[in-house]
Amino acid sequence: MPHTAIYLDHNASSPLLPEARSALLAGLELVGNPSSVHGHGRALHELIERGRDAVAQLAGAERQQVVFTGSATEAIHQAIVGGVRALRLDGVVVSAGEHPAVLKAAELSGAPVTTLPLDAAGRVSLGALSEQLAAADTTGTTLLVAIQAVNNETGVCQDLVALAALVGPTRHYLFIDAVQAFGKLPMEFASNAADMMAISGHKIGAPVGVGALLMKAPCDEVRLLQGGGHEQGRRAGTQSAALIAAFGAAAAAFPAHYAAERQRGLLAQLEASLHEMAPDIVIFGAGATRVGNVVNFAVPGLRASVAMMGLDLLGLSVSSGSACSSGKVGPSHVLEAMGVSPELAECALRVSLGWSSTGTDVTAFLSGFGVVLGRRRRQVKAA
């Protein structure tokens, strides 16, 4: 198998930023436990706090609102499972297009789960949410509303301002899965209506194995892992100072490397060329606001499994959806919720750009996809 030369799967995981690599290696040279009071421990503690400052700045949060976790999945479970328990909530409201981590956490919370539908463009039904909140107010129950800021498969952005207007003034709680939005869209956690927000390191060029849950009072009493007094008592377990330092370094460096306008330009070039190559192409979420670095599309009749294999043989890495579930048999639950037919959903490919993506990468993908598409057309013609 040839070495993959072109990586276009940043929504799954982004390559390590050089600044993050340097911070990680420097942190690994230090010995000790960051909770120890001696000099070695204090040096590790200082690394963690510097990382906290950088992550807080990128998220528009106050530093004490940042709780480091082992992953965004852990942060999501702390918010939902821990939130239901600690806040004695009566129900969880999610959308049909949420990441599997959110859907599973809602299931594990033990509270009744209500699922909001998506429209054909992948937007959450705010009308259905309003009805749920009104019904809860009538019965005196309190809900946790858990919604993605940006869908990991389609890149569709939810209307967080409208969500905040619905949930913010009420006694209900709002949790935002901001994994795909962090660093790519402006965030002001300290001043927005979200009560909790999950973010991840490896989506912005930090190593895998570190994430964070942003928490405001009274949600700062929410716990999941119990034990020592780490993270101000909000997440037990000895922190990896090296991973957190690398997360902080990535947070500080990512905006300059990512260059959002450049990403949008590359994506526009990619989509325009795809339309020229395949006029019958379907771009999922095209009618909604999207984050600007990802396109999920299908050419009818070209199965994603076939296309991905052909592209991989050409040294091009893309995906067919969430990396957390792409190994499972079955259509995307996101596309299903958008009303996409199973036949078309089986053709869905996701190309996601990131800080290391270049115009050369896009050109190489288009060339490779042209080869795969041409092969498919010849097979159809021969049949």
Please identify every residue annotated as catalytic. 324
CA 159 to chain centre: 16
Distances from the Cα of 77 to the Cα of 70, 198, 281, 336, angstroms: 11, 10, 37, 24
Give Cβ neighbours of residue 180 (< 8 Å, ≥ 6 apart). 11, 148, 149, 150, 151, 152, 155, 203, 291
Report the amino acid identity of residue 253: A
Three-class DSSP category at 88: coil
Using CA atoms, how far apart are residues 196 and 80, in angstroms rounded to an integer?
9
Give Cβ neighbours of residue 29 (< 8 Å, ≥ 6 apart). none
Using CA atoms, how far apart are residues 143 and 152, in angstroms rounded to an integer?
24
Burial of 30 (0-12, 13-18, 19+ CB in 10 A): middle
